[in-house]
Structures are given as C-alpha cells and as structure tokens.
C-alpha cells in the first residue's frame, strides 16, 4: 500500500510540474518562495497584461480580473528581469500611456520606475509630444514621477499635477 501512495504522490508531483507550464495553472501556481524571474508562468503573465493593454474590450469580456492585473504588475515591477522581459515591460508601459485610463493602470508607474532608462524615457517623451491628449497627459505625469522617485503615485498627486504646471 505504501508503494501505491508513493507512486501516486510522484505522479501528482510530475503532473503539477508539467501543469505549471500550461494555462491556466501557470498563472496561479507561483510558489511564494520562487522569484518572478524564474516563474514558469512569466510568459503567460506578460501575455495576459498585453492582452488587456491591446484588446481591452475583449479582455474585459473574457478574462477581466482587476485584482490579478494589479498583482501581476506589482510583482513584475519588483524584480530584475532579462532584456527580453524588460523590453516587453517597456512596451506595456508605452501601450498603457497611449490609451484612456483603465482600472489599475496607475500600477504601471511601478513598472516605469523599475524599468527607468533611456528607452522608456524616449518613448514617454514621444507619447508626451504625440498630439494624443491622453498620451500627452499620462506620459507627462509618468515622466514627472520618474524625476521624483520619492513622490507617491496617488489619485491626489495625479489631480494636483493635472491642476498645476504639467511640464516634464
């Protein structure tokens, strides 16, 4: 009987390992002690956020989960990533600043602060001068926050910034 239990446990472990690389299990199976950079679900998490950024209406119909979006963004903003993941995160910030605000988009400031550099700032400056009124405001605000790492990213700060001088 013990052998059956061991075999079953080994089979369950192998199944869980394989499932951790497939949807939807990969998105919900991140062990607490694993870093985000080694998480098997990282490609799916990036795809989930890109789906929301590029196709918000479709995402809302089929996958809407604001809490999950917020959690993923916060996790991704606190880790060291390879160049490919950094490029994807910069793309996401660029996409988000160029569209009307959606729930939890403010969390992307965390990503911008973590990915701050010439590539991101160049894109933000282009968005700020794009002629798209939302992109101009949003990118300007993110640039302003990047220059002030001590400033909190709150609704109050956003409203105060909007009411005042909006220069980068």
Predicted local distance difference test score (pLDDT) of residue 15:
83
Give the residue from 125, 69, 133, 135 showing the smallest Cα distance to 97.
135
∠ CA 87-92-95, rounded to 5°: 125
Give the pLDDT confidence score for residue 64 in this predicted structure. 86
Say if residue 23's pLDDT is above 80: no
- pLDDT in the model for residue 165: 60
> Is this structure's pTM higher than 0.85?
no
The predicted-structure confidence for 45-63, as pLDDT tens digits, reads as follows 899 999 999 999 998 988 8
- Quote the CA–CA distance of 75 and 86 in Å, as a whole number: 13
105-155 pLDDT per residue, tens = 999 999 999 999 999 999 999 999 999 999 999 999 999 999 999 999 999
Q: Where are the domains of the chain?
A: 1-30, 31-163
Digit-coded pLDDT (tens) for 66-80: 888 998 999 999 868
Question: Within 13 Å and on the Cβ side, how many CA atoms surround 6?
Answer: 3
Cα separation values, 70 from 8, 83, 129, 164, Å? 37, 23, 28, 28
pLDDT of 167 over the 90 cut = no
**pLDDT tier, 168 (very low <50, low <70, confident <90, very high otherwise):** low
Contact 40, 26 (CB under 8 A): yes
């Amino acid at each position: 009987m013990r052998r059956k239990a061991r075999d079953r446990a080994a089979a369950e472990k192998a199944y869980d390992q394989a499932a951790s690389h497939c949807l939807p299990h990969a998105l919900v199976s991140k062990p607490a002690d694993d870093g985000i950079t080694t998480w098997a679900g990282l490609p799916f998490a990036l795809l989930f956020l890109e789906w929301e950024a590029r196709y918000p209406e479709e995402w809302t119909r089929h996958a809407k989960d604001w809490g999950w979006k917020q959690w993923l963004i916060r996790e991704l903003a606190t880790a060291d990533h390879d160049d490919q993941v950094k490029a994807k995160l910069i793309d996401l910030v660029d996409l988000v600043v160029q569209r009307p605000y959606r729930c939890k988009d403010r969390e992307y400031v965390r990503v911008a602060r973590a990915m701050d550099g010439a590539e991101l700032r160049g894109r933000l400056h282009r968005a700020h001068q794009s002629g798209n009124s939302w992109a101009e405001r949003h990118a300007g605000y993110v640039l302003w926050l990047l220059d002030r790492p001590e400033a909190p990213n709150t609704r109050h700060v956003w409203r105060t910034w909007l009411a005042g001088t909006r220069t980068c």
